[in-house]
A and B are shown apart, each in its own frame.
Chain A
């Protein structure tokens, strides 16, 4: 039997779930809306006109393409840097290691906006503003700490006897990595890769400062279009981004458990 308190708690949870789903539900509703604004009570009928409009709006479509290509490039590059650093940080000691450790986690703590302003300033001197190279470097900095942490955690939980054994049997460093080290850190690499992809796709506060109309990523394109126009073509684009986000969450949950990945 349930007490009134438990019923109230259950009701509260349902309301909170609705609160968190509301903005996504509204975006989906608008994307398929026949009129282009919210009507209450909702009128019947679905329409794909905003998707048609999206295909004719290169500034939004190109933003999405840029973001997807960027995220796809960021994952292997940040991954290589993070795996290499995690191995070195785990196995070697050197002077200044703790300082480097702080530098490697700092971009999580420093507000993105501060990084954005700082990059705008330095990129200005180097001519990197409004270039793909500039965006690419910025996204490495933003995704690296998360990827490093994921790999480091999976590395910290394993012992290295297997590696010693393999090495004493004559395995070279590359073979050692491929057959022993990589399989044991694979969960960390998977969650790091999902993290890096999603964070790169989501990044707005740094990117906004350093892109122009011809290099803007999907979130910046959505913001700029939303700022200038009142129609829900951005909602149509957002549908793709929401699907990718939920797919990433599902994939993370299936492979490494979503809450564990995010809690690290």
Chain B
């Protein structure tokens, strides 16, 4: 490979921008969050206070629970979608590409606005249920359900994009071999597909779970004041209550959670699958 030291300066502009506008600000709030209640530094006072507050604990727990539910649903619907996408040709491939994957390129706020209309009181689902004779349809908007629907809709494409390459790498002769030996569809899936795509499943789940922990638009627009998650808590503290110390501390905890999840996955990938 060519190594040319004269070209080193090419990286300088980007390095300056990324350090000044990303590393410096994130570093600043991390250091600030270590300011104690009496102004002493460094101190983990704020984190101790925060994490022993039952309300905050509830918010974190709820975010983790909804994240796990969302991850499970994304996996369950992502698997058939990815496998249909890998196998399909022509119309069906294009249909899945443009309905499931292309929306990644379409504004999240716009899509979530669409869900707010679908799930609203006297919204689309409400009116359809009334029209077919259910007089008291359940409230959907501003519930955990609404937030999970919004998150699943936004995060499933990531799962499909992670599973599809894993599925497409499977040698199809294995399936003919399995079925000629009498294995049914379900058994083929369980004993053949699943073990072969397990690394892809882990990567997809970790990706979706870490995305769900920072999910902001879905709880903001579909959860309202009814469903407070970590991200909306940071927003409310920073922009509504002007509780800066709490906003930065919660943001730093969120960052640490996401980094832990991501590093867990890369450790797992190194130790377990690098040998195969």
Bitwise interface map of B from 48 to 84 toward A, beta carbon under 8 Å scored 1, else 0: 0000000000000000000000000000010011001
182-196 of chain A: CB within 8 A of chain B: none
User: Of the candidates B96, B131, B221, which one forms a contact with A223 in the assembled complex, judged by CB atoms under 8 Å apart?
Assistant: B221
* Residue A56 is within 8 A (CB to CB) of chain B in the complex: no
Q: Is the interface of B mostly helix, strand, loop or mixed?
A: helix
A112 lies within 8 A of B248 (CB):
no
The CA of A85 and the CA of B165, in the complex, are separated in Å by 28
Interface centre among B9, B32, B217 (most CB of A within 10 A): B217
* Residue B8 is within 8 A (CB to CB) of chain A in the complex: yes
Shortest distance from the beta carbon of A164 to any chain B beta carbon, whole Å? 7
Known: A84-B14, A160-B2. A246 touches B254 (CB 8 A): no
Shortest distance from the beta carbon of B206 to any chain A beta carbon, whole Å? 11
* Residue B127 is within 8 A (CB to CB) of chain A in the complex: yes
User: Of the candidates B98, B110, B164, B185, which one forms a contact with A222 in the assembled complex, judged by CB atoms under 8 Å apart?
Assistant: B110
The stretch that binds A, out of B15-23, B35-43, B173-181, B191-199, is B15-23
* Residue B202 is within 8 A (CB to CB) of chain A in the complex: no
A-side contacts of B210, CB under 8 Å: 109
User: Of the candidates A25, A40, A100, A114, which one forms a contact with B131 in the assembled complex, judged by CB atoms under 8 Å apart?
Assistant: A40
The CA of A205 and the CA of B220, in the complex, are separated in Å by 10
B238 lies within 8 A of A120 (CB):
yes
Interface size class on chain B is: 35 or more
The CA of A24 and the CA of B102, in the complex, are separated in Å by 12
A-side contacts of B18, CB under 8 Å: 103-104, 107, 141, 144
The CA of A118 and the CA of B77, in the complex, are separated in Å by 35
A27 lies within 8 A of B113 (CB):
yes
B-side contacts of A94, CB under 8 Å: 5, 8
* Residue A23 is within 8 A (CB to CB) of chain B in the complex: yes
The CA of A234 and the CA of B117, in the complex, are separated in Å by 12
The CA of A103 and the CA of B262, in the complex, are separated in Å by 15
The CA of A222 and the CA of B111, in the complex, are separated in Å by 11
B-side contacts of A21, CB under 8 Å: 99
A114 lies within 8 A of B84 (CB):
no
B10 lies within 8 A of A238 (CB):
no
Q: Can you name 7 A-B pairs with beta carbons within 8 Å? A: A20-B103, A24-B111, A27-B117, A91-B3, A109-B258, A118-B26, A262-B161
